[in-house]
């Protein structure tokens, strides 16, 4: 029986490990053995997924230089850990471009290496050039999460595929059973789920909330992929508007979608290009209108004025005015909601599984 060795850098509750967890479940269902390597971290979407879960040393620090040094050392460690598969029938499946040690090991021992690429906004640029070089030299196949990403980051003389992310059937069934409500107990609830990173638009979200403070029926919630202590330390000297709450990382985000009137993705268009936007389709599955960046993967999901709006996060006045108008226009909100539900049919798990398994069997 063939085995697939999955590699990811950091197991958390962000989008790329969530997608990888779906891939692992799918290949297991199709009879493949699985093993997983991740850097040591707290629990995340990959916890308990593979039959064997190995760890290698990796740690983030406040110092970017120290984090970079640790990252490079982690990949040396990962390289040597994977050499033991040289006499086994395995596929090395690398999630994101970051775990380059896996790509090098796969090439060194002569095993097929599949890269699942989610990102384009890697910093510093010299690191991105290095990672792209490793992919170019080691990959047998490359999977991109959007057409936009493939166009931006495509490689030469490598088999390349576009497989849009999808919602699990369980999640979709839960979402379908939910009835979208324009107002919940008289309140219009604005939600954003993101990492604790400036380029994700956290300050833009705060500023938009501030601009809406006079509208007492509008509330703002930001769910961050960070612990409560990290959030407290980060915002200790920052003023949070009275109509806004901050929440730490969640094992289950369904209750937040069930209470949301609109979902925002405010990634800065000049600092972090969203290559897909998993929270966007999650929100749309619940029938929630969305506001997303006008570039990158979101443009393949959201049609401006149909399921939501494509607006740069820097246009905080436009976004705040759009939120205020929607909060007072139930008919328009319900129209966007109905379109969002129909649009999600393009991002179902069955199609995702078929495409992933086809390229594995190919």
- The answer to whether 122 and 134 are in contact (CB under 8 A) is no
Strands 290-292 and 33-39 come out as unpaired
What is the model's pLDDT at position 122?
87
Which pLDDT score, from 0 to 100, does residue 247 have? 98
Q: Which helix (H) or strand (E) holds 143?
A: strand 141-144
Q: How far apart are the first and last CA of the chain?
A: 16
* The token pair that represents 204 in the structure block: 């833009």
And the tokens for 235?
A: 């915002």
Residue closest to 190 by CA, chosen among 326, 301, 303: 326
Alpha carbon distance 121, 35 (integer Å)? 28
pTM, full prediction? 0.87
pLDDT at 47: 94
Strand order in the sheet with 141-144: 52-56, 33-39, 3-10, 90-95, 113-117, 141-144, 159-162
Task: Show the DSSP H helices in the chain as ranges.
Answer: 15-29, 64-82, 100-108, 125-138, 147-153, 169-176, 202-211, 228-234, 254-258, 278-285, 316-327, 330-343, 349-361
Q: How far is CA 40 from CA 55, 63, 119, in A?
A: 6, 18, 21
Q: pLDDT value at position 99?
A: 98
Distance between CA atoms of 91 and 87, rounded to whole angstroms?
12
List the chain pLDDT tens, one digit each, 362 residues: 689 999 999 998 888 999 999 999 999 999 999 999 999 777 899 999 999 999 998 988 888 889 899 999 999 999 999 999 999 999 999 999 999 999 999 999 999 999 999 988 888 899 999 999 999 999 999 999 999 999 999 999 999 999 999 999 999 999 989 999 999 999 999 999 999 999 999 999 999 999 999 999 999 999 999 999 999 999 998 999 999 999 999 989 999 999 999 999 999 999 999 999 999 999 999 999 999 999 999 999 999 999 999 999 999 999 999 999 999 999 999 999 999 999 998 899 999 999 999 999 98
CB 82 within 8 A of CB 92: yes
Query: What integer pLDDT is reported at residue 1 of this predicted model?
Result: 66
Return the pLDDT at 64: 84
How many Å separate Cα 71 from the centre of its chain? 21
Q: Do residues 261 and 279 touch, judged by C-beta distance below 8 A?
A: no
The CA distance from 93 to 29, in Å, is 17
């Amino acid at each position: 029986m063939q085995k697939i060795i999955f590699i990811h850098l950091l197991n958390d509750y962000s989008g790329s490990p969530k997608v990888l967890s779906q891939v692992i479940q799918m290949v297991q269902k199709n009879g493949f053995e699985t093993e997983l390597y991740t850097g040591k971290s707290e629990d995340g979407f990959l916890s308990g997924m593979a039959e064997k879960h190995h760890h290698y040393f990796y740690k983030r620090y406040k110092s970017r230089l120290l984090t970079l040094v640790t990252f490079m050392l982690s990949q040396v460690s990962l390289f040597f850990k994977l050499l033991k598969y040289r006499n086994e029938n395995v596929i090395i499946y690398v999630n994101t471009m970051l775990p380059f040690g896996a790509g090098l090991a796969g090439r060194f021992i002569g095993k097929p290496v599949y890269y699942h690429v989610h990102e384009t906004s890697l910093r510093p640029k010299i690191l991105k050039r290095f990672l792209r070089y490793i992919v170019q030299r080691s990959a047998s196949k490359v999977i991109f999460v959007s057409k936009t990403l493939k166009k931006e980051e495509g490689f030469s003389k490598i088999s390349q595929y576009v497989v849009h992310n999808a919602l699990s059937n369980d999640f979709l069934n839960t979402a379908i059973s939910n009835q979208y409500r324009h107002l919940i107990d008289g309140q219009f609830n604005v939600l954003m789920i993101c990492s604790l990173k400036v380029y994700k638009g956290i300050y833009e979200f705060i500023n938009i909330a501030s601009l809406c403070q006079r509208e007492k029926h509008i509330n703002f919630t930001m769910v961050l992929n960070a612990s409560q202590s990290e959030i407290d330390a980060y915002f200790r000297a920052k003023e949070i508007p009275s109509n806004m709450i901050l929440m730490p990382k969640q094992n289950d985000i369904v209750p937040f979608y069930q209470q949301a009137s609109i979902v925002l993705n405010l990634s800065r268009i000049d600092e972090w290009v969203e290559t897909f936007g998993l929270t966007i389709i999650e929100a749309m599955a619940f029938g929630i209108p969305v506001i997303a960046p006008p570039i990158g993967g979101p443009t393949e999901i959201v049609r401006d004025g149909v399921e939501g709006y494509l607006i740069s996060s820097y246009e905080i006045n436009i976004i705040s005015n759009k939120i205020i108008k929607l909060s007072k226009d139930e008919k328009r909100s319900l129209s966007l909601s109905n379109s969002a539900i129909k649009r999600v049919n393009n991002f179902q798990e069955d199609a995702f599984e078929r495409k992933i398994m086809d390229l594995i069997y190919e």
